[in-house]
């Protein structure tokens, strides 16, 4: 059916040029409501999470990776809203339904990665808020095959973080081989780390939370961490040597030091999962440790995360803010001043 616009323009947060967040590079502007092509939906956004990867892109750290692919661009890739209108070819979705959008905006569907169930590695994938306009806005259009229904028992603020920290944590915990009787160390206990803690516990693992932030360690204890450790107060490597090491480690802390500590904290033959970019100065090949990288999930991963949340398996602390506060919220995120997940609402 043809697009029925609710309005001609929308309010959005635009990035015109990459720059340090302290220079307030984001501006609120009025832009045209996007027109739909076949098999697309227009979503009226109710909430969009603020992610550290947004910060990396905004500050220009990802220019060498080719992101953003266009300027100006609307950042934001963890989105919940309601379907405002649909185009020809859309199946299984109706106007008014509540849906979510994750970082994987689209994949080709025909390459070896897509056909092999690893569409997140598709060379032609499109990323929300990095390749196309994202969720720091009132509306977004998206391919309907990459839109997910949100369960009625989750409110907007609870559901929004599922679409990035939720799926990121799920993939990392799955790769870590967390299971009953095993110890998993998580380095970096912000929003993603907190979800990973809960997902690892659901698999029966003991979790050691590692963070420089006292606030994050307090939250980790409340979420059921077996123990919490601060590198500001204790030598991390000595701690894990004393406690017989971790079976696997997951790194979300954006520091090379955290990667080095995770490698040393993990027992020989163990697994280290990196959910961030960084450098490994010296790799102990003789200990046969396995290093895996992970970032975004597939549609299958996303549906599993939604099911876990629907069943009450995870809890995410959320701060709610307006679009106009985007610069300040990202500045606070940069300095680890957000306890859980910040969410922007139009």
Look at residue 340 in the predicted model and tell me its pLDDT: 83
Q: Would the pLDDT of 66 be above 50?
A: yes
For residue 333, the Cα-to-chain-centroid distance in whole angstroms is 14
Angle between helices 165-176 and 191-202 (to 10 degrees): 50
What is the distance between the terminal CA atoms of the chain, rounded to a whole angstrom? 27
Question: For the segment 16-60, what is each residue's pLDDT rounded down to a tens digit?
Answer: 999 999 999 999 999 999 999 999 999 999 999 999 999 999 999
Short-list 293, 290, 292, 244, CA closest to 270: 290
> Does residue 205 have a cis peptide bond before it, meaning omega lies within 30 degrees of 0?
no
What is the set of domains in the chain, with CATH numbers?
A: 9-163+296-345 (3.90.180.10), 166-293 (3.40.50.720)
Within 8 A by CB and 6+ apart from 315, the residues are 198, 223
pLDDT, mean of residues 62-77: 96
CA atoms within 13 A on the CB side of 135: 34
pTM of the entire structure?
0.92
pLDDT, mean of residues 248-256: 95
Question: For the segment 139-195, what is each residue's pLDDT rounded down to a tens digit?
Answer: 999 999 999 999 999 999 999 999 999 999 999 999 999 999 999 999 999 999 999
Q: In a 3-state reduction of DSSP, which class is residue 257?
A: helix
Which has more pLDDT, 105 or 4? 105
**b/e 256-276 (16+ beta carbons within 10 angstroms → b):** eebbbbbbbbbbeebbbbbbb
Query: What are the start-end ranges of the E strands in 19-163?
Result: 26-32, 40-49, 79-86, 98-101, 104-106, 126-127, 139-143, 148-149
């Amino acid at each position: 059916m043809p697009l029925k616009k609710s309005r001609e323009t929308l309010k959005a947060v635009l990035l015109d040029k990459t720059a340090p967040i302290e220079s307030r590079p984001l501006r609120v502007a009025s832009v045209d409501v996007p027109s739909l092509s076949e098999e697309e939906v227009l979503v009226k956004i109710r909430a969009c999470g603020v992610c550290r990867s947004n910060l990396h892109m905004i500050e220009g750290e990802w220019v060498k990776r080719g992101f953003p692919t266009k300027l100006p661009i609307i950042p934001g890739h963890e989105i919940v809203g309601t379907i405002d209108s649909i185009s020809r070819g859309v199946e299984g979705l109706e106007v008014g339904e509540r849906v979510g959008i994750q970082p994987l905006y689209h994949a080709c569907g025909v390459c070896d990665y897509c056909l092999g169930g690893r569409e997140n590695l598709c060379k032609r994938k499109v990323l929300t808020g990095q390749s196309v306009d994202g969720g720091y806005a009132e509306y977004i259009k998206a391919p309907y095959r990459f839109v997910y229904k949100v369960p009625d028992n989750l409110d907007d603020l609870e559901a929004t973080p599922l679409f990035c920290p939720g799926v990121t944590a799920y993939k990392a915990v799955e790769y870590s081989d967390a299971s009953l009787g095993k110890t998993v160390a998580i380095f970096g206990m912000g929003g993603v780390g907190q979800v990973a803690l809960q997902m690892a516990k659901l698999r029966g693992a003991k979790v050691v939370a590692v963070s420089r932030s006292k606030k994050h360690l307090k939250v980790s204890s409340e979420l059921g961490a077996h123990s919490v450790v601060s590198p500001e107060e204790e030598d991390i490597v000595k701690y894990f040597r004393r406690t017989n090491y971790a079976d696997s480690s997951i790194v979300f802390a954006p520091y090379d030091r955290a990667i080095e500590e995770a490698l040393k904290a993990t027992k020989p033959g163990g697994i280290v999962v990196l959910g961030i970019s960084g450098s490994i100065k010296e790799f102990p090949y003789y200990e046969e440790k396995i290093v895996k990288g992970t970032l975004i999930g597939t549609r299958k991963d996303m549906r599993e995360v939604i099911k876990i949340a629907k069943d009450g398996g995870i809890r995410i602390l959320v701060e709610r803010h307006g679009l106009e506060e985007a610069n300040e919220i990202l500045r606070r995120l940069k300095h680890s001043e957000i306890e859980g997940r910040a969410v922007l609402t139009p």
